[in-house]
Chains A and B, each alone.
Chain A
Amino acid sequence: MTLTEKILARHAGVDRVSPGEIINAKVDLVLANELSAAVAIGVMRSIKGGGRVFDHSKIALVEDHLVPARDAQSAKLAKLMKDFAAEQQIEHFFDVGRGGIEHVVLPEEGLVAPGEVIVGGDSHTCTYGALGAFATGMGSTDIAAAFLLGEVWLKVPATIKLVYDGALGHLVYAKDVMLATVGALGIDGATYRALEYHGSTIDALSITGRMTMANMAIEAGAKNGIFHADAKALAYVRSKTERDFIVERADADAVYERVLRIDVAALEPQIACPHTPDNVHPVSQVTREEILVDQVFIGSCTNGYIEDLRVAAKILEGKKIASNLRVIVNPGSQKVWMQAAQEGILTTLAAAGCAVNTPGCGACFGGHMGTLADGERCLSTTNRNYVGRMGSPKAEVYLGSPATCAASALTGRITDPRVLELAGV
């Protein structure tokens, strides 16, 4: 069995599962944010006998999408979830100022461990595969059912094995590798499938780099993306929690639907051009024409980690961003914000002319704090660039790494960070 199959079989209480089979799996954690929770709570209240959640210690509720509240309606949803958390005595409730983006917060707080099954009312729940968990996003009715039953029905996905080899070049990051992967698979290339990441490149990646990669599994349509928990992952998890967990490994004779080999040694920084995340091109090709940018956004559950802010700050240190654009930074969580403050990163970014926001989703989904106007163009470290994703349907969103975003912030147009460095800017 593949890693995903092993985890699902154990949670379904059976020896074996095969792709296509429908199972009922016990869940170790159910997640929702204020948008998905609002609908889920309504569904839960409409269910006869649905008064209490199955286990108040196995639910995480994070206020992140529209907080601090944008308007009265958003405030109502935030309050709805907060009141629900109090009523149900939910142990893991994160209000604004104490959390951040759900997918950054949960691993940080030790709520994710290898071998676990986690479902969330958010498509980027797949991020936790970085730590060897099976994690997948669902809609609110599914989440309401999981709140009550502590289990979900799942169709066992077939697994695509991704094997990465080679060392990453200078100023090339996990984000570039994953953009290239989404480009190779296509946005529906892994629909209903699991992605299992392997290879020497992956072994060398940091935990947050792996989170960036697992995060974007959904951008290829995948149900989940998963890494084997190695010593690095175990050390990370052990530093956050003492609870027991079971580390699974794929069997030597596991059956994969497909194996995709990707050599990253020659990989350049990558850019996803409008309006789909699989419209991916090497930066050298994209920069053949001048693409001026109105906004650069650094943040999100893809690239809102301390490492990402360090990369951006290193490039922006002692410099000023170009006069034609604005740069918006949302650290991924309160902890990331505090770490960045301690390291002087927030001051560096602010001194360069960046607007540093409070942790949360911010501009990522066009909700608030950096929404784009008609005709505006944004280069962003986020994960999706569909029409209207960051505001006006007449705006354009390009996706890149924090290094590419920071370099472009200095020049005002999409820029290869390696070229900028060679130019000594």
Chain B
Amino acid sequence: MEQKLRGHAHKYGKNVDTDVIIPGKYCNLIDPVELGKHALEGLDPQFTAKVKAGDIIVADTNFGCGSSREVAPIAIKGSGASAVVAKSFARIFYRNALNIGLPIFECPEAVDAIENGDEIEVEPATGVVRNVTKGTIFEAAALPPFMQALIEAGGLVPYVERRLGGM
């Protein structure tokens, strides 16, 4: 992922759970765009009307707690949001996001310094988070080497293909 991700921040609190990211009644949907139409519906019914392509979700601790539904990061991706910056992520959400290629960044200092609506730029390769509106720069925690390799391979699918190919 070479390019920078840039958009406005949609800021939320802690423990944003998968039931509000994509309510259970929509979990029988598969299409990312359809899912995206209901992203964060349980938390902020206006989100899908406000979000523009590239926008960045900013949240406090434990983002994505609750169920294992992979449709949660898929719905966020489908909504047009380009990344999530949070103080911390719940475990399964973290895995799912990496596996499906939704860039996520753990950066408590950046979260504290970002206000709703600020323009944000993130560099996936370096983890640098820039608050363009306020002119401040932060660095997100680096991914462990295995996960960097996973992302470099393009996610879990190409990784499995390589393994099946006997490499």
B43 within 8 A of A: yes
A141 touching B62, Cβ below 8 Å:
no
B70 within 8 A of A: yes
Q: Which residue of A lies closest to B62 (CB)?
A: A188
Choose one: A70, A120, A187; the contact of B15 (CB below 8 Å). A187
What total count of A-B pairs have CB within 8 Å? 150
B157 touching A49, Cβ below 8 Å:
no
Choose one: A38, A49, A71, A393; the contact of B165 (CB below 8 Å). A49
A145 touching B15, Cβ below 8 Å:
no
A46 within 8 A of B: yes
Q: Which residues of A contact B42 (CB under 8 A)?
A: 386-388, 393
B131 within 8 A of A: no
B96 touching A123, Cβ below 8 Å:
no
B20 touching A36, Cβ below 8 Å:
no
User: A85-93, A132-140, A167-175, A318-326: which one contacts chain B?
Assistant: A132-140
A35 touching B27, Cβ below 8 Å:
yes
Q: Which residues of B contact A223 (CB under 8 A)?
A: 91
B70 touching A140, Cβ below 8 Å:
yes
What interface size band does chain A fall in?
A: 35 or more
A48 touching B66, Cβ below 8 Å:
no
A148 touching B88, Cβ below 8 Å:
no
A137→B96 CA distance, assembly (Å): 11
User: What per-residue 1/0 map shows which CB atoms of B27-60 lie under 8 Å from chain A?
Assistant: 1111000000000011100000000000000000
With contacts A39-B74, A187-B15 known, what are 18 further pairs, Cβ within 8 A?
Answer: A36-B68, A38-B30, A47-B160, A50-B164, A76-B28, A125-B68, A139-B68, A139-B96, A141-B100, A145-B159, A188-B62, A191-B65, A384-B67, A386-B19, A388-B19, A388-B24, A388-B42, A393-B23
Residues of B within 8 A of A (CB): 15, 17, 19-20, 23-25, 27-30, 41-43, 61-62, 65-71, 73-74, 88, 90-92, 95-96, 99-100, 144, 146, 150, 155-157, 159-161, 163-165
